[in-house]
Amino acid sequence: MAYERILTRYQEIPGYTGTMDAYLAHGGYQALAKALQGMQPAEVTEAVKRSGLRGRGGAGFPCGVKWGFIPKNAGKPVYLVCNGDESEPGTFKDRMLIEDEPHQVLEGIILACYAIGCRRAFFYVRGEFGRGAERAQRAIDDAYARGYLGRNILGSDFDLDVVLHRGAGAYICGEETGLLESLEGKRGQPRPKPPFPAVAGLYRCPTVVNNVETLSNLPHIILRGAEWYAAIGPAKSTGPRLFSVSGHVNRPGNYELPMSITLRELIFEQAGGIRGNRRLKAVIPGGSSSPVLTEQHLDVTMDFESLAAAGSMGGSGAVIVMDDRTCMVHVGEIVSRFYHHESCGQCTQCREGTAWLHKVLHRIEHGKGRQEDLDLLLDLCDNMKGKTICVLSDAAAMPIESYLKHFREEFEQHVRERACPFGGAEAF
Amino acid sequence: MISNETRARFDALVAKYPERRSALIPILHAVQAEAGYLSPEAIAWVAAYLDLSAADVMSVASFYDMLNLEPVGRHMLYVCHNLSCTLLGGERLIRHLEARLGIRCGETTPDGQVTLRRMECLGACGAAPVLQLDGVFHEQMTAERADALLERLRSESA
Ligand SMILES: Cc1cc2nc3c(=O)[nH]c(=O)nc-3n(C[C@H](O)[C@H](O)[C@H](O)COP(=O)(O)O)c2cc1C
Ligand code: SF4
Ligand code: FES
């Protein structure tokens, strides 16, 4: 597919380093100058709405619409938080954007702050991303030194401070209200909603939380125009998307493409097909919370609507590919162990449900499962959905239901044979 | 225990936030970077410094995987055991490291050099299997490359 890269265009520049000078030499901060010198904040929001940009953090919510929820003249400070907590299993694109092109994220942060009237923004970087945090801090320091942050940015009357904040290892801090609690120095336990962050977020003030990749799109939208952007990809899933492809493919990595790409093209053309010429068995198309797809779904396009229609979701853009030697019960055991470990424990359905899912999947995988366990799993999943403070509980249930739906016979075989037909964990 | 210089650094952290408490995790990171772990005395000091109770600080610190409430080895070795890494040999890598170091995940070598820990997805799945040594990523790990890494640690500390 002929496609002009946008967010990762820098990778095509020989010797590119992502420093302030390199970014400036290749058109960096021109969008900010254009906005500050010729656009009202409301015009920036309008442009982002017209561009059709949807959040890349997981939910795919329209970015400009979210900004529009910030009350005008609330009499309180407004905050922007850049979500760089990236921890949805399979996802590794925000780390790349933070480490390799930090000024693109930062310019996006500044543009968003200008649009929503924020004077102090926070850049929350996952605790394990030490190098990313260093690169981001360096970018912030350089931006202050050159007048892109601080007082009277580029001679305008716009002031902005950006504070880098490192997490300390907890998946749930990627959920936006868990992140806000963490930023306030507390346990990262999600808050009941409403109120939504746009009304009462950080320090109970109006707050926008946006993902690193979402914000990285903004300079391009402002510089090249909303109409140019909206013409990329399907009408309801516009712009470029970074797909993190991992697992049993020949060329794992991040691929920037329009969401009109099919799953087949992404796996077999871009990522070079399945390793060792084996057969594809299953694909998780949007991070470990998304329901699994199989060979029959390969012609689905990777936009939010089409993936939902196929019974899954676009999620974080993480595509995990599995070949025919993969045991789906073992996959379920790994995925449920993760959600059990990461449940913050506030809601009974989630705390107990994730523990039980893991326990039951573990015993099936280890040859100790019973026939009733299959329905027990479905029952547990049913009880975990739609009832909790945040959607981690749903995220834990949905994939397991999908493994049972598409690979039920494999679960039954484990029970019948009292062993894993794929050789168990030792085979990995 | 806490020098004036460190205190000044913490004051600067606090000044970045509208509310003092927001500096808690950055301060815990800073304390741990020096001492390796958060001792009860350190927790009490940070609590007093931020006008919080020690129990409150303890409850926050215990929520986060990267904050150590018990002494750890000189080096932290995190190995990913999530899906993409497991698909490409992550569990084999873990078994190899356990055998090589003579400890199980979660333990520290008797000489106090290395603490081995299983971690959830480290955000580097495209280069699986992955480990982190003292915060630095090592990607596409094999048993041989892991051995070379441990060998380097040993020669550096000798
Ligand atoms: C359990 C859970 C984990 C999440 N983890 C992340 C994450 O690591 N990074 C992220 O950007 N969004 C994550 N999200 C989504 C955020 O809550 C939020 O929707 C997003 O940051 C908004 O930004 P966007 O609109 O730009 O996508 C997570 C959501 C849930 C429920
Ligand atoms: S659903 Fe789970 S992770 Fe979310 S708030 Fe409830 S217990 Fe915590
Ligand atoms: S699964 Fe190991 S780094 Fe993501």
A361 & A267 share domain? no
Q: In what order do the strands lie in the sheet with B75-80?
A: B114-119, B75-80, B131-133, B136-138
Q: Do residues A82 and A22 both lie within one domain? A: yes
What proportions of chain B, in percent to the nearest 5, are helix, strand and coil? Answer: 50, 10, 35
**How much is the CA Rg of chain B, to the nearest whole Å?**
18
> In this structure, are A203 and A348 located in the same domain?
no
Q: Which domain holds residue A354?
A: 328-417
- CB–CB of A169 and B59 under 8 A? no
Nearest CA to A34 out of A25, A26, A44, A42 is that of A44
**Per-residue confidence (pLDDT) for residue A1, from 0 to 100:** 64
Percent of chain B having pLDDT more than 70? 98
- Residue A113 covered by a domain: yes
Contacts of residue A376, defined as CB under 8 A and 6 or more positions apart, other chains included, come to A356, A360
Q: What is the mean pLDDT of each run of 10 residues along chain A (428 residues)?
A: 90 96 97 97 98 97 97 92 97 98 98 98 97 98 98 97 97 97 98 96 98 98 98 97 98 98 98 96 98 98 98 97 97 98 97 98 97 97 96 98 98 96 79
**CB-hemisphere CA count at 13 Å for A409?**
1
Q: In terms of domains, do A180 and A275 share one?
A: no
* Residue A304 belongs to some domain of the structure: yes
The pLDDT of residue A310 is 97
Cβ of B43 less than 6 Å from ligand 3: no
Are A209 and A297 found together in one domain? Answer: no
Summarised one tens digit per residue, pLDDT across range B76-129 is: 999 999 999 999 999 999 999 999 999 999 999 999 999 999 999 999 999 999
In this structure, is the dihedral angle defined by the CA atoms of residues A210, A213, A215 and A217, taken in order, positive or negative?
A: negative
Q: Is residue A1 part of a domain?
A: no
Residues A411 and A386 in one domain: yes
Whether the CB of A345 sits within 6 Å of ligand 2: yes
Q: Which amino acid is at A245?
A: V
Domain presence at residue A235: no
For the sheet containing A120-125, what is the strand order? A161-166, A120-125, A79-84, A207-211
Map A239-261 to HEC letters.
CEEEEEEEECECCCEEEEEECCC
Given a cut of 80, whether residue B73 has pLDDT beyond it is: yes
Place of tokens 């026939």: A371
Q: Give contacts of B126 with chain A, Cβ < 8 Å.
A: 92, 244-246, 252-254
- Closest-approach residue (CA) in chain A for B32: A168
Q: For residues B1 and B26, give the distance between their C-alpha atoms in angstroms, rounded to a whole number.
A: 18
Residue from A54, A86, A88 whose mutation best tests the ligand 1 pocket (most atoms within 8 A of CB):
A88
Residue at A422 is within a domain: no
State in Å: Cα A39 to ligand 2 middle: 41
Q: Which of B26, B78, B120 faces A342 most closely, judged by CB atoms?
A: B120
Q: Is A389 in the pocket of ligand 2 (CB under 6 A)?
A: yes
Residue B72: the pLDDT is 96
Task: Kindly tell me if the per-residue pLDDT of B131 is higher than 90.
Answer: yes
pLDDT reported for residue A74: 81
- Asked if A124 and A42 sit in the same domain, the reply is yes
CB hemisphere CA count around A138 (13 angstroms): 16
Q: Please say which residue of A291, A323, A355 terminates a domain.
A: A323
- Domains located in chain B, CATH noted: 4-61 (1.10.10), 75-157 (3.40.30.10)
CATH number, domain containing residue A350: 1.20.1440.230
**Residues A103 and A118 grouped into a single domain:** yes
Using 50, 70 and 90 to split pLDDT, how confident is the model at B4? confident
pLDDT at B158: 66
Residue where one domain finishes, among candidates A274, A302, A323? A323
User: What's the maximum distance between 2 C-alpha atoms anywhere in chain A?
Assistant: 73
Q: Is residue A271 part of a domain?
A: yes
Do A374 and A249 reside in the same domain of the chain? no
Indicate left, alpha or beta for A317 from its phi (over 0: left) and psi (-120 to 50: alpha): left
Q: Is the CB of A289 under 6 A from ligand 2?
A: no
Q: How many domains does chain A have?
A: 3
**C-alpha to C-alpha distance for A294 and A321, rounded to whole angstroms:** 10
- What is the chain B residue with the closest CA to A289? B83
pLDDT, residue A115, reads: 98
Verify whether the Cβ–Cβ distance A166 to B25 is below 8 Å: yes
Region B24-46: mean pLDDT is 95
CB-nearest partner of A86 from B23, B123, B132? B123
The CATH number assigned to the domain holding A270 equals 3.10.20.600
Residue A382 is assigned to a structural domain of this protein = yes
Task: Evaluate whether residue A428 is within a structural domain.
Answer: no
Asked if residue A305 and residue A367 are part of one domain, the reply reads no
Q: Give the ligand with the smallest distance to the CA of B127.
A: 3
Q: Could you tell me the CATH number of the domain that includes residue A210? A: 3.40.50.11540
Is-cis flag, bond preceding A234, omega within 30?
no
pLDDT of residue A162: 98
Do residues A380 and A297 share a domain?
no
Confidence class of residue B6 from pLDDT cuts 50, 70 and 90?
confident
Ligand 1: residues whose CB is within 6 Å? Answer: A 55-59, 61, 83, 85-88, 172, 174-176, 209-211, 214, 390-392, 395
Report the distance separating Cα A358 and Cα A174, nearest Å.
22
What's the confidence (pLDDT) of residue A424? 78
Query: For ligand 1, atom 28, which residue shows the shortest CA distance?
Result: A175
State the distance from the centre of ligand 3 to the C-alpha of A4, rounded, in angstroms. Answer: 29
Out of A297, A323, A349, pick the residue that ends a domain: A323
Co-location of A111 and A65 in the same domain: yes
